[in-house]
């Protein structure tokens, strides 16, 4: 069977399916005759859970550091807590019910207790109990393929959707691609896939229903196709395509240390987009001229509390030093929309993409904003950092953000801390209003960076995450092209530079148009840089 979706990340993969289950398993209560045997099943599931957690913890310590791995330590402590497992055993004994039901009763009780506590930290422990409960349950039911750990090599993940943090945790040694029901080319899971260099097809609508765990599947990240249980001829055809693709990738490496100059002699900066500090290596290895977009919100994800000023400072300083003297444009927190933080509950909104997000949230929660700005400023003493504000819709908003930045500069001066007082401060143009008023804004900014992912969705009123309207989401729509051109011209008129960090910057069919419009800087997934350089040099 062949399914067509949206090509989200290039390349080919041939592997076996693991379906990521989102739905909760339904537990049926059964009366048990052999209570000892049931307690034995529970004991075994707990031992297996412990072994799995031990491995996850080791990996997390290696990949993410001891602090982030600490959460698994507390999961293990819960598994070892005799009050917890003892309560499940007692429930099996007294109610004579199966271990699954006895376990989930106790988990619900514990979750209820934690959830009703005053203290926020304790309230969050409810999620840990649920996680541990689900792990034991998975071991009891044998449904251990449900998570994203414990995978075999050559796995292709199939899911309704993957959150950005799911994607960030994928083990590249095991996972060779993913397929999802929903999402578009610019949903954050797709962007993460390109960063990880994992081929992906999204927006496949009902792929989770058409496929079983263990099925063989071909993933074609060029055409956006998934072929389920292909025959031998197709397999060898795709093995060949994969080989040709990889050879071409090798060829492009010759461009790594070559300056990108257009046919008319204009020098263009081709930079990379990153989500975490270590991604800088991939950008530099791919011949990037710097970073055009550091999406700092990923520093805030996958954790239980806000990153401190010190932690952020370390990350920004790391990138600044590694890329110095090449520039890095660091975007301030752009949370909201499809990016959420577990410890910062945001109101449920009818239209999250039109709601309380990015600069709107930061200007409202200045304490959070200032922590980041102070960290950024301090890191600017170590390399070529430029600051960029997201989702600016008016001059007032840009000036308000700059005002907070000035406050931070004053504070640091008083504290005798170093920073680059001349650092460039720019904004993203990703709201049509900003593009339309770019002539005015250009007088106040040091640079623009066009965020086409949002600009297109707002201009064409087509949700970037919704595959049902993806046919409307057209980068080459005349309205989008005019806004892009207006923004570039407005910047140049004021002697400022204009970049682009939305996905259009790496879109092979759009690059020639952008060169013609006079775009100065292109920023994209590291893996697209070399191909983009080649195209720019031919235009």
| Residue 454 within binding range of ligand PEP, rule CB under 6 A | yes
Range in contact with ligand PEP (rule: CB under 6 A) among 128-136, 419-427, 446-454, 487-495: 446-454
Q: Which is nearer to ligand PEP, 293 or 488 (CB)?
A: 293
What would the two tokens of residue 26 be? Answer: 């339904």
What would the two tokens of residue 391 be? Answer: 């989702």
Nearest to 524 by CA among 201, 292, 250, 193: 292
Answer for the pair 220, 201: CB distance below 8 angstroms, yes or no.
Answer: yes
Q: Which of 279, 397, 430, 467 binds ligand PEP (CB under 6 A)?
A: 430
What is the SS3 string spanning 61-86? HHHHCHHHHHHHHHHHHHHHCHHHHH
User: How many distinct helices (H) and strands (E) make up the chain?
Assistant: 21, 16
| Residue 279 within binding range of ligand PEP, rule CB under 6 A | no
Range in contact with Mg ion (rule: CB under 5 A) among 36-44, 265-273, 294-302, 444-452: 444-452
User: What is the residue whose two structure tokens read 């005019």?
Assistant: 482
523 binds, among Mg ion, ligand PEP, none (CB under 5 to 8 A by kind): none
User: Which one from 188, 271, 362, 408 is the annotated catalytic residue?
Assistant: 188
- Interface characters, 247-276, with ligand PEP (x: CB under 6 A): ------------------------------
Nearest to 499 by CA among 452, 534, 535: 452
Q: Which is nearer to ligand PEP, 238 or 458 (CB)?
A: 458
Range in contact with ligand PEP (rule: CB under 6 A) among 52-60, 198-206, 215-223, 448-456: 448-456
User: What is the residue whose two structure tokens read 């072994």?
Assistant: 51
User: How far from chain centre, in Å, is Cα 69?
Assistant: 19
195 binds, among ligand PEP, Mg ion, none (CB under 5 to 8 A by kind): none
Greatest Cα pair distance, the chain, in angstroms, is 84
Pair type for strands 291-295 and 12-20: unpaired
What would the two tokens of residue 490 be? Answer: 């407005």
Helical residues (DSSP H) of 264-357, grouped into ranges:
280-285, 297-300, 309-323
Q: Which is nearer to Mg ion, 279 or 454 (CB)?
A: 454
We find the least distance from the C-beta atom of residue 475 to ligand PEP, in angstroms, to be 11
| Residue 454 within binding range of Mg ion, rule CB under 5 A | yes
Pair type for strands 155-159 and 12-20: parallel
295 binds, among ligand PEP, Mg ion, none (CB under 5 to 8 A by kind): ligand PEP
Q: Is 362 a catalytic residue?
A: no
Answer for the pair 318, 281: CB distance below 8 angstroms, yes or no.
Answer: no
| Residue 426 within binding range of ligand PEP, rule CB under 6 A | no
C-alpha span between 242 and 351 (Å, rounded):
40
We find the least distance from the C-beta atom of residue 282 to ligand PEP, in angstroms, to be 17
Answer for the pair 472, 460: CB distance below 8 angstroms, yes or no.
Answer: yes
User: What is the residue whose two structure tokens read 């039109």?
Assistant: 354
Q: Which is nearer to ligand PEP, 412 or 501 (CB)?
A: 501
Which residues neighbour 508 within 8 Å (Cβ) at sequence distance 6 or greater?
531, 532, 535
- Interface characters, 51-90, with Mg ion (x: CB under 5 A): ----------------------------------------
We find the least distance from the C-beta atom of residue 169 to ligand PEP, in angstroms, to be 19
C-alpha span between 419 and 140 (Å, rounded):
56
We find the least distance from the C-beta atom of residue 503 to ligand PEP, in angstroms, to be 7
Q: Is 281 a catalytic residue?
A: no
Q: Which is nearer to Mg ion, 38 or 454 (CB)?
A: 454
Q: Which is nearer to ligand PEP, 17 or 456 (CB)?
A: 456
- Interface characters, 182-221, with ligand PEP (x: CB under 6 A): ----x-----------------------------------
Q: Which of 451, 475, 499, 506 binds Mg ion (CB under 5 A)?
A: 451
Residue ranges with strand state E in 458-536: 497-500, 521-525
**Number of residues located near Mg ion, criterion CB under 5 A:** 3
Answer for the pair 140, 45: CB distance below 8 angstroms, yes or no.
Answer: yes
155-159: strand order across its sheet: 2-4, 225-228, 216-220, 12-20, 155-159, 175-180, 200-202, 6-9
What would the two tokens of residue 469 be? Answer: 């309207």
357 binds, among ligand PEP, Mg ion, none (CB under 5 to 8 A by kind): none
| Residue 453 within binding range of ligand PEP, rule CB under 6 A | yes
Q: Which is nearer to ligand PEP, 60 or 319 (CB)?
A: 319
| Residue 501 within binding range of ligand PEP, rule CB under 6 A | yes
* Backbone dihedral region for residue 518 (phi beyond 0: left; psi -120 to 50: alpha; all else: beta): left
We find the least distance from the C-beta atom of residue 435 to ligand PEP, in angstroms, to be 12
| Residue 337 within binding range of Mg ion, rule CB under 5 A | no
We find the least distance from the C-beta atom of residue 261 to ligand PEP, in angstroms, to be 25
| Residue 452 within binding range of ligand PEP, rule CB under 6 A | yes
Element holding 155 (H helix, E strand): strand 155-159
Range in contact with ligand PEP (rule: CB under 6 A) among 347-355, 377-385, 392-400, 449-457: 449-457
User: Which one from 271, 362, 498, 501 is the annotated catalytic residue?
Assistant: 501
Q: Which of 451, 475, 499, 506 binds ligand PEP (CB under 6 A)?
A: 451
Burial 517-528 (b: 16+ CB within 10 A, else e): bebbbbbbbbbb
Residue ranges with strand state E in 399-452: 425-429, 447-450
Q: Which of 128, 166, 279, 430 binds Mg ion (CB under 5 A)?
A: 430
Burial of 11 (0-12, 13-18, 19+ CB in 10 A): buried
Which residues neighbour 512 within 8 Å (Cβ) at sequence distance 6 or greater?
535, 539
We find the least distance from the C-beta atom of residue 194 to Mg ion, in angstroms, to be 16
Q: Which is nearer to Mg ion, 268 or 501 (CB)?
A: 501
| Residue 287 within binding range of ligand PEP, rule CB under 6 A | no
Binding site for ligand PEP (CB under 6 A): 186, 293, 295, 334, 430, 451-454, 501-502
Which residues form the catalytic set? 188, 501
Binding site for Mg ion (CB under 5 A): 430, 451, 454
């Amino acid at each position: 069977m062949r399914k067509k979706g949206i090509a989200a990340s290039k390349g080919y993969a041939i592997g076996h399916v693991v379906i990521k289950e989102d739905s909760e398993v339904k537990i049926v209560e059964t009366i048990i005759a052999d209570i000892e045997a049931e307690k034995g099943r529970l004991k075994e599931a707990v031992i297996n859970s412990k072994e799995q957690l031990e491995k996850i913890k080791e990996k997390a310590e290696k990949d993410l550091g001891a602090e982030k791995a600490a959460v698994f330590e507390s999961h293990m402590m819960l598994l070892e807590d005799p009050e917890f497992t003892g309560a499940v055993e007692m429930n099996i004994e007294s109610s004579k019910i199966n271990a699954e039901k006895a376990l989930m009763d106790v988990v619900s009780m514990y979750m209820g207790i934690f959830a009703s506590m005053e203290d926020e930290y304790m309230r969050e422990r409810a999620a840990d109990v649920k996680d541990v409960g689900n792990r034991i349950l998975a071991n009891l039911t044998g449904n251990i393929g449900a998570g994203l750990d414990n995978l075999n090599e050559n796995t292709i993940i199939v899911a309704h959707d993957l959150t950005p943090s799911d994607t960030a945790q994928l083990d590249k040694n095991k996972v060779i691609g993913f397929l999802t029901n929903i999402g578009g080319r610019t949903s954050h899971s797709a962007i993460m896939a390109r960063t990880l260099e994992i081929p992906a097809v999204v927006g496949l609508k009902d792929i989770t229903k058409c496929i079983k765990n263990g099925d063989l599947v071909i993933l074609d990240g060029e055409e956006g196709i998934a072929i389920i249980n292909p025959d031998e001829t197709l397999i060898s055809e795709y093995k060949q395509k994969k080989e040709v693709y990889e050879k071409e990738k090798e060829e492009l490496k010759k461009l790594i240390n070559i300056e990108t100059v257009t046919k008319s002699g204009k020098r263009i900066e081709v930079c990379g987009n990153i989500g975490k500090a270590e991604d800088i290596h991939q950008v530099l290895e791919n011949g990037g001229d710097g970073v055009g977009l550091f999406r700092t919100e990923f520093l805030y994800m996958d954790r239980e509390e806000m990153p401190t000023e010190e932690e952020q400072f370390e990350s920004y300083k790391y990138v600044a030093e590694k890329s110095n003297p090449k520039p890095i444009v660091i975007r301030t927190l752009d949370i909201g929309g499809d990016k959420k933080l577990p410890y910062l509950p945001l109101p449920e909104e009818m239209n999250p993409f039109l709601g309380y997000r990015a600069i709107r949230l930061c200007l409202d929660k200045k304490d959070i904003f200032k922590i980041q700005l102070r960290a950024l400023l301090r890191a600017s003493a170590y390399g070529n950092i430029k600051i960029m504000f997201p989702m600016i819709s008016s001059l007032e908003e840009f000036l308000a953000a700059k005002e907070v930045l000035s406050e931070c500069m004053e504070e640091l001066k008083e504290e005798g801390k170093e920073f680059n007082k001349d650092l460039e401060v720019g904004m993203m143009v990703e709201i049509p209003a900003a593009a339309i008023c770019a002539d005015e804004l250009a007088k106040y900014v040091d640079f623009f960076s066009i965020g086409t992912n949002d600009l297109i969705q707002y201009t064409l009123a087509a949700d970037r995450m919704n595959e049902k309207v993806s046919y409307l989401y057209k980068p080459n729509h005349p309205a989008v092209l005019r806004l892009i051109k207006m923004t570039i011209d407005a910047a140049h008129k004021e002697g400022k530079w204009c970049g682009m960090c939305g996905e259009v910057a790496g879109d092979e069919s759009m690059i020639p148009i952008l060169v013609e419009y006079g775009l100065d800087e292109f920023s994209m997934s590291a893996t697209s840089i070399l191909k983009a350089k080649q195209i720019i040099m031919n235009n």
